[in-house]
A and B are shown apart, each in its own frame.
Chain A
């Protein structure tokens, strides 16, 4: 049930190799010339020059989907284009930095933050939260709470406005898996866990349910993770760029954790 047939690569195999016989593609990125093999994306081409375009939805191990829009670049067309999905083309002149792009990136991060639990920034999972890191880097106006993560403190779902954009909340926590803790409010629907679960591990458990603003990640027929066919491989936690999916061993349960986290299901 693979959704695409193609190249899931490391991003390293796209640089010119002498004698490969394939016609190389020549383009410039921020004025610097670069040659890549056909099929390489702009994002991959930029990496060979040491330009790391911000991404939340992309990971070199996954087929790109271009949904977070943070890697948008200018290619001389009226519309910006997502570098992670757009193929490099001969003669293309790519620009990765401009006031227009900075405004868009900051605005997108603010949109995501306005839905993001301020406490998720301290979720002591594997130590990183790409959204909060990016927010700090871009100087987003948002009250991240950098707590120490000591025992007794638990991730919450409180959200705050970001850059004047009103906050939104109301999505559930799911404590039902013995291994993975799910904070739907911290999910940015980047699709990484879905591709990790379905394409990389071929466990085929995670998808999306609902439409529009109501969309959530879901397990099987939208049952709690602990009641699903999840085999606890941990791939979803590994690829998650935020505090949405984390290892339970690291997570401290809220005091009222005895209450069912998802209506109708017992906490394990």
Chain B
């Protein structure tokens, strides 16, 4: 954490990291030059050239692609060409897909069409918090009651009994990880609790970067107290005294909201040594990611926290056993942690009854793409995709639904006749896709799907860390092949695409590689007429 923070500090101070600055840092800290080169060239946040006073970052990924930004960006570039002190650059998904086509001007999110005007009056400094917006269903508290579950846990005569009671409640609730993998939360807490090595850590994964996904950002902006309490409860249960919130650098507002909440918690005696007069100690700090989708992969995230290139580790061992600095580490997604206080406060039966038709609990879903009111919706699990699209104002321009991705860029596309699927882990899996990070990307009739699939594959190519052979090479090969087909209409060499897909799925180190071609394969499966050369009879 020290080295990456030092690089960030130097960049903030000097605008960029030039050779002199890196050499000086190398001799000051005794860090070899190759390590600095490895970090600075790996993380997109670092720059070795001076930045112009105003930089417009234009999102090039899924939801923004659906909003047609490719020519918008080109138009913008033309419009701004030759303007002094202004640069336009392409960026991976910025996590504000509700603004699609989205851009950031010096870190401030806006709609691309407003970027040029915004650029002449861009505010100084980081974005301020939006202000809390109470009223989400998962928040069990009036303002005065906050941290009630933590208070009760610390007042309990036996912290062992209390920790076991919490684990038991979470296991009975069936709560699963909301970051994409869906691992049972209660079991994870139990496993890390059972580890003997000390110290232990809790890491809140706030690095959501999957195209179409922005729910964690909204949760952190609106409900930061639930995130902080979730971390505290996790630390209490597993026996950790240190929590780290790993947040992507684009989330300035969410970070500001969390910082304000941590200050409040500190003042209220909820952080520090002897929390609320008990013998439980807890410090929570925020670590800003230097960038990249792959950092959301939990072991890549740990590598970044240890000042290395964010390249996923071979697993096992899993972070619960061997995590940060080799110690047992409880890693949970923002939403997962934010749901814990509500479940414990209102009880497992409340959580069970919160879902519909036998489904359990609530789910935050980021809705983007071709809908009238893109945004984050908190829905009872079991709500159908069609109903959620209605909630989001229906398909934009009154068009019909053609396809949807229920779990962001890595989830398989499903055709419109699957819109009756109830939103839950198993139900979506049964239809041949996944809930993933809870990001519904809606595609209207009339949208060609091969360019969209190419866009997704290109995203994974751009975001591959390059550590393992299959992902580093196969994502590039597949991108070249699909782009050539999109360009010329010439048939795809389908056996080779299938071979690349097999290698990615079977031999990659992490999930990025596993899923990279899934969306393309699903397009070939459901819309073979749109994929020249694909063999319909035997798609994978």
Contact = CB atoms under 8 A, between A and B. Distances in A.
Our verdict on whether A and B bind, yes or no, reads yes
Given A112-B469, A189-B466, A212-B472, A107 B502 contact: yes
Interface stretch (A29-37, A132-140, A200-208, A247-255): A200-208
A72 B502 CA distance: 14
A165 B477 contact: yes
Interface string B25-68: 00000011111111001100000000000000000000000000
A235 interface: no
Interface stretch (A17-25, A152-160, A213-221): A213-221
B344 to A, nearest CB: 33
Interface of A is mostly: loop
Nearest to A213: B476
Interface string B268-305: 00000000000000000000000010000000000000
B200 interface: no
A106 to B, nearest CB: 9
Given A208-B38, A215-B466, A222-B41, A164 B499 contact: yes
Interface residues of A, number: 47
B272 to A, nearest CB: 32
Interface stretch (B183-191, B354-362, B457-465): B457-465
B496 A69 contact: no
Given A1-B35, A209-B41, 15 more contacts: A67-B509, A68-B468, A103-B502, A104-B503, A163-B499, A165-B496, A166-B481, A168-B473, A207-B32, A208-B466, A210-B466, A212-B462, A212-B465, A213-B475, A214-B466
Contact of B477 (A72, A166, A218): A166
B499 A210 contact: no
B255 interface: no
A242 to B, nearest CB: 12
A84 to B, nearest CB: 9
Nearest to A203: B32
Nearest to B292: A211
A103 B503 CA distance: 9
B176 interface: no
Contacts of B503: 104, 107-108, 111
B507 A72 contact: yes
Contacts of A221: 19, 22-23, 33-34, 36-37
Contacts of A166: 477, 480-481, 496
A80 interface: yes
A192 to B, nearest CB: 14
A111 B37 contact: no
8 contacts: A67-B509, A114-B473, A168-B476, A168-B477, A189-B472, A210-B42, A212-B462, A213-B475
A198 B31 CA distance: 12
A206 B33 CA distance: 9
Contact of B314 (A82, A114, A213, A229): A82
Interface of B is mostly: helix
Interface string B448-489: 000000000000011111111110111111001100000000
A188 interface: yes
A213 B37 contact: no
Contact of B34 (A164, A214, A219): A219
Residue of A72, A104, A108, A211 ringed by the most chain B CB atoms within 10 A:
A211
B466 A211 contact: yes
B309 interface: yes
Interface of B: 19, 22-23, 31-38, 41-42, 292, 308-309, 314, 316, 461-470, 472-477, 480-481, 493, 495-496, 499-500, 502-503, 506-509
Contacts of A206: 34
Nearest to A228: B33
B473 A211 contact: no
A61 interface: no
Given A207-B38, A210-B466, A69 B473 contact: no
A66 interface: yes
Given A69-B507, A104-B503, A164 B477 contact: no
B461 A212 contact: yes
A85 interface: yes
Contact of B469 (A1, A67, A198, A204): A67
A220 B465 CA distance: 20
A115 interface: yes
B507 A211 contact: no
B475 A212 contact: yes
B469 A69 contact: yes
B475 to A, nearest CB: 7
A238 interface: no
Contacts of A220: 33-34, 37
- Which 3 residue pairs across A and B have the least CB separation, nearest first? A207-B34, A215-B466, A204-B32
